[in-house]
């Protein structure tokens, strides 16, 4: 596995070239990219920028809101093959998106069928371009009140959906915070295989708050509070031979308020610290 910088997750605004430069300066091996920006820059130029800084393109931000009404979804689906082709040309084989743990109109069975259909169509396009997608389950129980129908919010539930979609290129976006808030364990991670996981997010949880009271968008940098056993989490990933990107998604007001370079440096230091404590090198 390797460390990847996703600037949007730390409220940093930087174009592709600047993101690559920041990643190289602060010890990230990869970057998450906006595939439409890469296409506009030109794949050849993007490749040159990555090579010059010794950084890889880890994954692209998923450009389709698959929950939109069918006409809007169909329009996005029509553009999707060209976006996948651009990603393939840059050597990107991964992307990811989150799945809401509730719905206001569809009960569980109808929502499940909806996901089989929509993700099945998207998965088929991605498979033609050698791309896998990770689906993220969202753990916090605090998201559920006010919504009549609950949906998947556990690792095993999401794995079943990935399997049932049936395209063979859909796995998990495994987020340490969502695993924690869904009452998952390190032993659950140890049951996985590398091919089950497409992408990993690491972050910590605020201290002094019960698991079921944690909020989705209030988190901390890796290792900042020690509430989540990220050393054990990372060691479990290493133990199953996970080969994909690991990125930080802290939703931290403190980090969000920092200047660009400070935000990336602080994020890198937190991730590198957990990396070293887990015995994964520098």
| Residue 138 near residue 101 (C-beta atoms within 8 A) | yes
Q: Which of 7, 19, 86, 8 is nearest to 50 (CA)?
A: 19
Q: Which tokens is 56 given?
A: 């890889």
DSSP, collapsed to helix, strand or coil, labels residue 13 as: coil
Average pLDDT over residues 133-150: 98
Which pLDDT score is estimated for 80?
A: 98
Question: Is the pLDDT at 276 greater than 90, yes or no?
Answer: yes
Q: Which of 76, 96, 82, 5 is nearest to 38 (CA)?
A: 82
Which pLDDT score is estimated for 281?
A: 87
246 DSSP β-pair partners: 3, 200
Which pLDDT score is estimated for 282?
A: 81
Average pLDDT over residues 187-199: 98
Topology adopted by domain 2-277: TIM Barrel (3.20.20)
Residue spans of the domains in the chain: they are: 2-277
Place of tokens 């109109």: 105
């Amino acid at each position: 596995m390797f460390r990847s910088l996703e600037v949007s997750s730390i409220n940093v605004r930087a174009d592709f070239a600047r993101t690559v430069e920041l990643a190289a300066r602060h010890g990230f091996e990869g970057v998450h990219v906006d595939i439409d920006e890469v296409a506009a820059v030109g794949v050849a130029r993007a490749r040159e920028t990555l090579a010059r800084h010794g950084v890889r393109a880890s994954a692209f931000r998923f450009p389709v809101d698959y929950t939109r009404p069918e006409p809007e979804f169909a329009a996005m689906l029509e553009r999707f093959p060209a976006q996948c082709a651009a990603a393939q040309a840059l050597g990107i084989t991964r992307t990811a998106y989150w799945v809401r743990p509730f719905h206001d109109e569809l009960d569980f069975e109808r929502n499940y069928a909806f996901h089989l259909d929509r993700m099945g169509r998207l998965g088929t396009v991605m498979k033609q371009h050698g791309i896998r997608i990770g689906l993220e389950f969202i753990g916090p129980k605090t998201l559920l009140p006010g919504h009549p129908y609950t949906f998947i919010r556990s690792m095993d539930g999401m794995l079943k959906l990935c399997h049932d979609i049936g395209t063979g290129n859909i796995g998990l976006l495994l987020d340490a915070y969502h695993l924690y808030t869904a009452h998952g364990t390190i032993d659950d991670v140890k049951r996985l295989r590398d091919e089950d996981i497409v992408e990993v997010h690491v972050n910590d949880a605020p201290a002094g708050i019960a698991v079921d009271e944690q909020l989705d968008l209030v988190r901390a940098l890796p290792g900042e509070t020690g509430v989540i056993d990220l050393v054990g989490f990372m060691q479990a990933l290493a133990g199953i031979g996970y080969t994909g990107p690991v990125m930080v998604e802290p939703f931290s007001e403190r980090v969000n308020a920092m200047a660009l370079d400070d935000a990336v440096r602080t994020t890198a230091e937190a991730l590198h610290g957990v990396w070293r404590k887990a015995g994964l090198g520098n």
